[in-house]
């Protein structure tokens, strides 16, 4: 417990930073064990070089925070109080003037940065975001275990979705069935808004499920993920309802080849850019390069999108314990949209795939 | 169409600001008609004092943006490209060096602020957040119409939820039923995570639905909202399953009295702080003041939480066209948690309530 917190405290010591202000709710949970989405209210974790940390929460969450795994102090503010004054006062109870502080520049808004600066007047402000990214990028065995479970639930979600396919059904009806069945099984949150896209709609890589009805010979794209004990999964499968066109089948097989080639190449020592290149070459050599208009993949963990970014030009060297998606796609407007995505975790000499729904073209009739 | 955009362009003229960078996806939609959630990718709307505006989107969204209501230019970037360079180049095609720019300090992260500053090197950076808040705080008749519809859907959601109540059911099963039935009726998004909280769990104002089972004589708190054509609703009702204790009933009636007293007082000219005081006095005079540990309400519109904040000390004067929640609550650990919330829009001489589910204590058996 609180191993990550200790890492942070050591970092503060080593870098002579007096305190760090963490306010990404996901990272507050990562370091404190207290999960919350405070909306526009202020939630923060303050960790010090030479004093006990404290959690800062809206008053209406105080009871929840006190009964969470967090064992250190909890400070709080009422809606009509100035949270920055209370943060300042709570800090003064445990530390003199903070000369150097660190904040999450990737999350903190300019407004809050200005307020914090006004309240604490540090001489220097550093960025903790890259340090947290670096910490989170290598998963512990315990984290990988949760991601394996999250992956199993994603496979389950696909199974429910495939079974729900029927002619004339709307995309969003299938989304409704998937989420309903999972919620009944105890899953509280999806990793992101479940996507079920058919026909032309699937040719948009970030389409929104709507009232388009499933028609015979459509391709249907499912992109979804499940949150299990705070860890996410993410998977995409494209299935056929009836008999797709030859060109759609060709596109499918190309995407599958790209997916499998990249997964086969994952191992410690290769770079993120090389992985992107391996998948992209398969697709480009067949003449579809311009229709693969996004990176190969993204890291995931407690956030569904985190480091590393698996994209061209990224020289980041892949290491054991990293988790990321491999998701090549080809989107030809008016013809077909196909994406096949699996997430993997890197082992000593390769990788293990987190989702196991078959990838050869499934025809639902 | 684009009336809001014209307002923004006029503001730039009047305040001699060369350009504004808007990147809250909700505000991008408000000004451009293009809805998207780009996750960690960059989505922005750039509006200029003396040049045509453009939308900036990830390449994988370009087709969607082009087929959206937005009629001006769309610039895009691929994942491996530097978005800030492309923004810089696109600006250079239509404007010389920008001396003064404005950004959304309430939304823009420090990292992106630094990148933008580096790319554009403006001499001065202003904050557009208060201007947008001010624009959004007075709703147009068209916006109010959408909020009336969103309110009707919230009433429908409560009806579904009440009908689903049964002994031994878990909180999250009821959440699943509500969202499933609404999705089947074409509702894509809830305003926030639907809350169904029972017994002790309801005594936490921001609790998370879990596997707690409904028991006889529980109070059950529903807090939910629906997004209808981009506009949100938000409603809370607390119902009884079986016969609640006398103290629970007393608490309920007190919260109801506070809710009704505040709604009766809403009219142009009163301040936000006075409204909070009216509800709080009812609860405090009965000795439960310390158990009403949040503000009375919040504005809502295209965001479920926006301006104004209905809280003690806020001297903001209520005006016709404002929309906000009135949601007093009393949370006594181990005894009962009750909140009753309606959203209202302010008329010339009072207000209209957006949700109509009855408020006298409903006993479900």
Q: Which residues of chain A have pLDDT under 70?
A: 1, 206
A159 and A210 share one domain: yes
B166 and B273 share one domain: yes
Looking up residue B356, the CATH number of its domain turns out to be 3.90.230.10
B201 confidence band (pLDDT: 50, 70, 90): confident
| Residue B334, pLDDT above cutoff 90 | no
* Res A111: pLDDT: 98
B209 confidence band (pLDDT: 50, 70, 90): confident
Domains: count for chain A = 2
B151 and B71 share one domain: no
CB contact under 8 A, B63 and A333: yes
B150 and B178 share one domain: yes
Q: Cβ contacts (< 8 Å) between A111 and chain B: which residues?
A: 105-106, 127, 129
A57 and A120 share one domain: yes
* CA dist., res. A101 & res. A47, Å (int): 10
B117 and B148 share one domain: no
Q: Is A314 on the interface with B (CB under 8 A)?
A: yes
* CA dist., res. B281 & res. B288, Å (int): 10
**Residues linked to residue B196 through DSSP beta bridges, in sequence order:** B222
Residue A106 has its nearest CB partner, among B35, B103, B109, at B109
B127 and B146 share one domain: no
* CA dist., res. B135 & res. B131, Å (int): 6
B254 and B325 share one domain: yes
pLDDT in tens, B227-236: 999 999 999 9
Q: Is A168 on the interface with B (CB under 8 A)?
A: no
B221 and B96 share one domain: no
pLDDT in tens, B277-291: 999 999 999 999 999
Q: Is B189 on the interface with A (CB under 8 A)?
A: yes
Per DSSP, helices labelled H in chain A are 3-14, 25-32, 62-66, 83-92, 110-120, 129-137, 141-164, 171-184, 246-265, 272-285
- The residue among B169 and B128 whose pLDDT is bigger is B128
Among B93, B112, B135, where does a domain finish? B135
CB contact under 8 A, A294 and B40: no
Looking up residue A108, the CATH number of its domain turns out to be 3.40.350.10
CB contact under 8 A, A184 and B176: yes
A278 and A201 share one domain: yes
Q: Which of A340-349, B186-195, B239-248 tops mean pLDDT?
A: A340-349
Among B104, B135, B166, where does a domain finish? B135
pLDDT in tens, B131-143: 999 999 999 999 9
CB contact under 8 A, A107 and B109: yes
Q: Cβ contacts (< 8 Å) between A127 and chain B: which residues?
A: 110-111
B224 and B312 share one domain: yes
Q: Cβ contacts (< 8 Å) between A294 and chain B: which residues?
A: 58-60, 78-79
| Residue B1, pLDDT above cutoff 70 | no
Sign of the C-alpha dihedral computed for residues A76, A82, A83 and A87 taken in this order: negative
Q: Cβ contacts (< 8 Å) between B290 and chain A: which residues?
A: none
Q: Cβ contacts (< 8 Å) between A103 and chain B: which residues?
A: 110
Q: Cβ contacts (< 8 Å) between A63 and chain B: which residues?
A: 203-204, 333
Residue A26 phi, psi dihedral angles, 5° rounding: -65, -40
Q: Is A61 on the interface with B (CB under 8 A)?
A: yes
B321 confidence band (pLDDT: 50, 70, 90): very high
A161 and A125 share one domain: no
Kind and range of the H or E run holding B152: helix B141-164
Q: Is A106 on the interface with B (CB under 8 A)?
A: yes
Q: Is A122 on the interface with B (CB under 8 A)?
A: no
Q: How many CB atoms lie within 10 A of CB B50?
A: 12
Q: In which residue are the tokens 């894509």 written? A: B188
* Res B250: pLDDT: 96
Q: Is A348 on the interface with B (CB under 8 A)?
A: no
- The residue among B1 and B98 whose pLDDT is bigger is B98
Mean pLDDT, rounded, for B19-44 = 94
Mean pLDDT, rounded, for B182-193 = 91
Q: Cβ contacts (< 8 Å) between B58 and chain A: which residues?
A: 206, 294
Mean pLDDT, rounded, for B74-95 = 95
* CA dist., res. B229 & res. A159, Å (int): 31
Domain that holds residue B215: 138-364
Among A88, A119, A136, where does a domain finish? A136
């Amino acid at each position: 417990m609180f191993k990550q917190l200790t890492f942070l405290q050591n970092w503060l010591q080593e870098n002579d930073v007096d305190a760090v202000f963490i306010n990404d709710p996901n990272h507050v949970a990562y370091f404190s064990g207290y999960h919350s989405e405070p909306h526009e209210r202020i939630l923060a974790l303050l960790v010090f070089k030479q004093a006990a940390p404290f959690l800062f929460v809206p008053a209406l969450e105080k009871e929840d925070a006190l009964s969470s795994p967090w064992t250190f102090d909890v400070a709080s503010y009422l809606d009509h109080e100035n949270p920055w004054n209370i943060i300042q006062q709570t800090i003064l109870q445990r530390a003199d003037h903070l000369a150097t502080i660190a904040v999450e520049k990737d999350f903190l808004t300019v407004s809050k940065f200005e307020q914090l600066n006004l309240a604490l007047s540090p001489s220097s402000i550093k960025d903790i975001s890259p340090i947290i990214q670096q910490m989170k990028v290598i998963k512990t065995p315990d984290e990988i275990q949760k991601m394996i479970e999250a992956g199993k639930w994603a496979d389950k979600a696909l199974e429910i979705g495939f079974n729900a396919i029927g002619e004339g059904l709307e995309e969003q009806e299938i989304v409704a069935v998937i989420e309903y069945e999972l919620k009944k099984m105890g899953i509280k949150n999806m990793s992101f808004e479940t996507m079920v896209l058919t026909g032309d709609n699937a040719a948009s890589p970030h389409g929104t499920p709507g009232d388009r009805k499933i028609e015979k010979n459509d391709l249907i794209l499912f992109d979804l993920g499940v949150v299990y004990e705070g860890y996410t999964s993410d998977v995409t499968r494209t299935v056929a309802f009836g008999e797709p066109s030859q060109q759609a089948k060709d596109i499918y097989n190309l995407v599958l080849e790209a997916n499998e080639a990249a997964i086969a190449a994952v191992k410690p020592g290769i770079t993120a850019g090389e992985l992107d290149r391996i998948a992209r070459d398969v697709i480009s050599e067949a003449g579809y390069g311009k229709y693969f208009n996004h990176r190969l993949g993204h890291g995931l963990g407690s956030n569904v999108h985190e480091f590393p970014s698996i994209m061209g030009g990224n020289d980041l060297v892949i290491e054991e314990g990293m988790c990321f998606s491999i998701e090549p796609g080809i989107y030809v407007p008016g013809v077909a949209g196909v994406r096949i995505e699996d997430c993997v975790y890197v082992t000593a000499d390769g990788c293990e795939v987190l989702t196991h729904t078959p990838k050869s073209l499934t025809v639902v009739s």
